Amino acid sequence: MPHIVMESIIKSYGDVRVLDGCSLSVEKGQVMTLLGPSGCGKTTLLRTLAGFVEPDAGRVLVGGIDITALPPNRRSVGYVFQNYALFPHLTVAENVAYGLKVRRRPGPEIKDRVARALDIVSLGPLGDRYPAQLSGGQQQRVAIARVLVLEPDVLLLDEPFNALDAKLRLSMQTELRKLIERLGITSIFVTHDQSEAMMLSDQVAVMRAGTFEQVAPPLAIYDRPANPFVATFIGRANILPVGLRAGAVVDFPAVVAERPDGPADLIVRPENLTLAAGRIDPGTGQSGPPGTVLFAIAQGPTIEYEVDAGFPEPLRVTVNRRSGEVPLAAGSPVSIGVIDPAACRVIERGTP
Ligand SMILES: Nc1ncnc2c1ncn2[C@@H]1O[C@H](COP(=O)(O)OP(=O)(O)O)[C@@H](O)[C@H]1O
Ligand SMILES: [Mg+2]
């Protein structure tokens, strides 16, 4: 039995359906990430789980118990808000103690639990400071401690790193991942940043317009995206309109597709393509169409090419760069190849 189950959640505001039948389950101790563009319903779904939003239809279960009708304060769900919402006039320790005071816990217990929560987020010595005297990363940790001190069964985090600069983000992401693993607390995490989702999650739910496009472990989504939207939202991808004939892709005969002849979309990652100078077989045995270099940029370990290969959009090809190698000039004729045909996806035309 999964720890968290959301069943066919529907929510509309006016005549706009914001959640359109979302179903999700999360195993105990796992991190699920909701990933999707702004406005797709991530926060609304998280707030439904916390009890701040009442769904029009569907059920929410935690630990097998239906909590759909329970108010937020009767749910054992901790919610770390997008802007940390710390009380500026209270010290760090008082901020963390706040929820326990509201619950009228005895003084010595509060002191103990606050000290432990601050230790967990490595803020032990800073209990007497005020939020304004802390860095962004430290304020973030106070916000997390304030939730952990209540010992929730479930931890919800809504874009918790948005306010942090890139470097701090990276270290906080790693810290948070370690913390969640150590505590074994079932967590749902919201982001619109795909690399953050890849790094933090056991499972990723890719959302678009109130529904899930794919729910799977992050690498499975990267390797086997369900459709072009998912493929371009997680990592970079070429989405090529191709024809199928006799069980193979016309332009890339090495890519087989057990489908009837007709139009399809081929999804191929830039690093799964090769490129060789001249109109020759690139030597992989997986020859593809001839092309012409439009643009090339060397990035140290790789070269990023844009190639005109007769498709509506330039083909993006990432090749590993050998020491001393300079990119082929624009206008150079090249041959395109596929490294691993099995890693390509062929999707019938008409799928979103
Ligand atoms: N209380 C509300 N009243 C009306 N519309 C809302 C409300 N909350 C969210 N929405 C709308 O629902 C959609 C999804 O919002 P949200 O869940 O915040 O998306 P996300 O977190 O993915 O950016 C948006 O179009 C937003 O404007
Ligand atoms: Mg949001």
Give the list of residues 6+ apart from residue 221 with CB closer than 8 angstroms, or none: 204, 206, 214, 230, 234
What would the mean pLDDT of 139-165 be, rounded to a whole number?
89
Residues 278 and 189 in one domain: no
Q: CA-CA distance, 146 to 98, in Å (whole number)? A: 8
Asked if pLDDT for residue 282 goes beyond 50, the answer is no
Do 342 and 218 share a domain, yes or no?
Answer: no
Protein residue with least CA distance to atom 16, ligand 1? 41
- State the ligand closest to the CA atom of 210: 1
Mutating to test ligand 1, I would choose from 10, 16, 43, 44 the residue with most ligand atoms within 8 A of its C-beta, which is 44
Residue 245 sits in the same domain as residue 270: yes
Mean pLDDT of 30-35: 96
Residues 210 and 259 in one domain: no
Q: Tell me the per-residue pLDDT of 45-89, one tens digit each, with 9 for 90 and over.
A: 999 999 999 999 999 999 999 999 999 989 999 999 877 789 999
For 324, residues 6+ apart whose C-beta sits below 8 A from its C-beta are: none
Q: Are residues 140 and 256 in the same domain?
A: no
Does 15 have pLDDT greater than 90?
yes
pLDDT of residue 281: 55
Ligand 1, atom 12: closest residue by C-alpha: 18
- Mean predicted confidence (pLDDT) in 249-269: 90
Q: Which of 12, 13, 54 to mutate to test the pocket of ligand 1 (most atoms within 8 A of CB)?
A: 13
Q: Which domain holds residue 307?
A: 236-348
What number is the average pLDDT over the span 83-105?
91
Q: Do 149 and 78 share a structural domain?
A: yes
Whether ligand 1 lies within 6 angstroms of the CB of 42 is answered as yes
Residues 32 and 173 in one domain: yes
Looking at per-residue pLDDT, the higher value among 183 and 304 belongs to 304
78 CA distance to ligand 1 middle (Å) = 21
Whole-number average pLDDT of the chain? 91
Judge if 173 and 297 occupy the same domain.
Answer: no
Counting the structural domains of the chain, the total is 2
CA 38 to chain centre: 13
CATH code of the domain in which 293 resides: 2.40.50.100
pLDDT digits (tens, 9 = 90+) for 192-231: 888 889 889 999 999 999 999 999 999 999 999 999 999 9
Same domain, 30 and 67: yes
- Tell me, yes or no, whether 211 and 81 share the same domain: yes
On the question of pLDDT at 351 being above 60, the answer is: no
